[in-house]
Chain A
Amino acid sequence: MPPEIESPILARGTTNKMSAASKPRPKYYELNLAHHWPPAVLSIFHRITGAALFFPILPLLLWMLQSTLDSESGYAKWRDLLANPVAKLAVVAAAWFYAHHFFAGIRYLLLDMHFWAGKPAARASALAVFALGAIAALAVAGCVW
């Protein structure tokens, strides 16, 4: 007999045994982010960062590209603005969002090709994505400060 595995996916007080008697219904799932495994949190972050990149990060970048290329005064305006610590923090946050989305996306591409598809490997790679995103953000922070 295989041991019964406690899984956070299943409702509290239930097991993954597929017997009708051990499945009280309705089930209430644990929806608190802190109780999810890293791949689930990563998936939610992939959506949040993706939506934020669509708006407002992409239009802000286009606006910056437009005014810095348009005129010398526009270039100077953005250079002065980006000297502001709050603006630097926004740049680091945007870079972190992009880096997280980038590494998480590469992880999905690898999973599609069946690399690290096992449960322990998928958890480890999800944690690695969080670490890489943070490292990239710190590297950008080091560049702007």
Chain B
Amino acid sequence: MVRHGYEKNPVGAHYGVGNWLVQRFSAVVMALYTLCAVPYILWRSPASYGQWKALFAGGFFRLATLLAIVAIIWHAWIGMRDILIDYLHGFALRLGAQVVVAVVLVFYLIWSFSILWGP
């Protein structure tokens, strides 16, 4: 048997299981946020600019919102990656699409941070 500098794992790299778990935990984070934030916003029922602004002035609500957005972005990366792998064939096309999705998601993350903590 020829041995090279590394040994290839015959049953895969196992990052699929990690992605699968992240997909589920991020889903739970988003579901909890939805189940808490929707009643909270309905309870506050902001009817003016001042009340809407005050809703997001709360540190905990802002932090929870950012946490949910991070969960969305991670979840979207795994989901979009699965879709691209299934429907886009060819190395250049798939890699190109994955890079576009990744850049867009990083943009969303920075944008969200600047909305919630910006001036």
Residues on A facing B (Cβ under 8 Å): 47, 50-51, 53-55, 58-59, 62, 65-66, 68-69, 72, 75-76, 102, 105-106, 109, 112
Contacts and interface: CB of A to CB of B under 8 A. Distances in A.
B66 to A, nearest CB: 12
B115 interface: yes
Interface of B: 24, 27-28, 31, 34, 49, 52-53, 56, 72, 76, 79-80, 83, 101, 104, 108, 111-112, 115
The B contact surface, by secondary structure, is helix
A62 B108 contact: yes
B46 to A, nearest CB: 10
A112 B24 CA distance: 10
A137 B24 CA distance: 24
B40 to A, nearest CB: 15
B76 A53 contact: yes
A102 B31 contact: yes
A70 to B, nearest CB: 8
Contacts of B112: 62
Given A54-B80, A105-B31, A106-B31, A68 B111 contact: no
B72 A109 contact: no
A106 B104 CA distance: 26
B79 A54 contact: yes
A114 to B, nearest CB: 14
B78 to A, nearest CB: 10
